[in-house]
Structure 1
């Protein structure tokens, strides 16, 4: 149902929109969900209020939704207003013609400046809320990690990275980061600590330090090059500045 939830709309035309989703907001309710609480407050609820028309390709639960972001991940997400645009965008994602770039802060120091992880991803059969790279029947997934900054801080070593993904599997960056032995800060599901030692409690994150920062694609209807960016949210920028204080930085 439509809900009057504020949206940060970075681009809108008659075919599509690009939204800067906050962390903590689910994209849509899960299949079979009957709990009123879980059916409210989602991106879909907000979209239904703000836009007169959305595509039907994704079904009743996912009007307009072409791709997803995890609940605790912020950043750019594409929304289709009509079925033709939705199908064309879906085909572009399948052909890897949409460039998606994320910013993430990882625990530890990545040794190489550029690292590509090509490990298949599947559901963890024991812990069903997790994904894993350890099953042979996983789906192909490719993530490119590029080091922006290495920090040695009183709270430990960290690496700020830019991550470009070729595929869009569930928890892809998070599980690939874990496979490197460097979980995303705040991502307790994949091995990050709940609290950062020595950091003020107010600055400890209640979300993952993962942000969909950049989206680049050719508009499927007009052919216009689209290039959109969203800066780090305040809570991530504040956290980063806090650990940079009294740290030694290795570019």
Structure 2
């Protein structure tokens, strides 16, 4: 069952788990599970995605319960009227806060181009970020005897494809678990240490106007248990409480006590 965060006669919001596609895609032709079909079967009616969330990203995902509601919601995303908040675990220590203002090429999805990615001229793209916790672990992953990681919150202003992931790569602080834009050695180290093999990126909150009433809605998704487990083992769980970020209870801690060499 997909956790439902909000539902009325016009829209529904779910907590999408990591590793679930929103809808069928030729870029992942062998996948058989999709949020659209799962939610449709769960609530017994057709649903219409209002925006896109990467397969590997967990968190708030909105659907209209009819095409008009979905269109109105999608328009808010297109016109930058939706406030989106994300949480990520990244390599290194970024500045305490800042704005990444880095143009990104348009990347068409498979609905537009079958069998590949086409790039066009770069578009203006901005993401605000804040580092809320830092940790240094005794891992000789690269050439250094220890490795630094950070917990960051992110507010994308624009909505380009893979924007947060590409912006953090541009900042030289890629997200842990990102197999496209990240660092394989660090990804493998985390998978080995914590037994969690996922992109450590989650959409934790969205604020937008109801497509019919115009009332402001704020929908929150707790950080999934597998991601909060990693954050707990890094010793950063208190940062979520400090910044009022909800999270699901992580599994019992075993405490990280070994060095990892990759």
> Is the partner of 1:50 in helix, strand or coil?
helix
C-alpha contact 1:211 1:232 (8 A) present in aligned 2: yes
Instruction: Report the CA distance between 1:198 and its aligned residue.
Output: 6.7
Residues 53 and 82, structure 1, Cα contact 8 Å, conserved in 2: no
Does 2:33 align with 1:41? yes
Contact 2:191 / 2:197 at 8 angstroms: preserved in 1?
Answer: no
Does the 8 Å contact 2:103/2:124 carry over to 1? yes
- Does the aligned pair in 2 maintain the 1:14–1:81 contact within 8 Å? yes
Partners of 1:154 and 1:101 lie apart in 2 by 31
Equivalent residue pairs, number: 225
Match of 1:223?
Answer: 214
Q: Using a 3 Å threshold, how does the CA distance of structure 1 residues 176 and 52 change in structure 2: closer, same or farther?
A: same
Distance 1:157 1:121 in 2: 30
Do residues 169 (structure 1) and 153 (structure 2) align?
no
Residues 195 and 204 of structure 1 are in contact (CA less than 8 Å); yes or no, is this contact kept in structure 2? no
Q: Secondary structure of the equivalent of 2:180? A: helix
Deviation at 1:160, TM superposition (A): 0.8
**Is there any run of 5+ residues in structure 1 with no aligned partner, and where?**
1-5, 55-62
Q: CA RMSD in A?
A: 2.8
Q: Secondary structure at the match of 1:137?
A: strand
Alignment partner, residue 27 of structure 1: 22
Residue equivalent to 2:13: 18
Cα distance change, pair 246–113 in 1 and its aligned pair in 2 (3 A): farther
Structure 1 pair 241–206 and aligned structure 2 pair: CA distance change class (3 A): same
1:172-209 per-position Cα deviation (integer Å, ceiling 9, x unaligned)? 11011000001001112113234568768261431110
Distance of 1:28 and 1:216 partners within structure 2: 23
Matches within 5 A, 1:72-221: 72-123=56-107, 137-155=121-139, 156-195=147-186, 201=192, 203-221=194-212
What is the distance in 2 between the residues matched to 1:194 and 1:23?
A: 21
- Separation in 2, partners of 1:47, 1:198: 34
- Give the whole-Å Cα distance in 2 for the aligned partners of 1:218 and 1:42: 26
Deviation at 1:53, TM superposition (A): 3.6
Question: Equivalents in 1 of 2:38, 2:94: separation in Å?
Answer: 38
Call closer, same or farther: CA 1:140–1:31 in 2, change over 3 Å: farther
Are 1:130 and 1:189, in contact at CA under 8 Å, matched by a contact in 2?
no
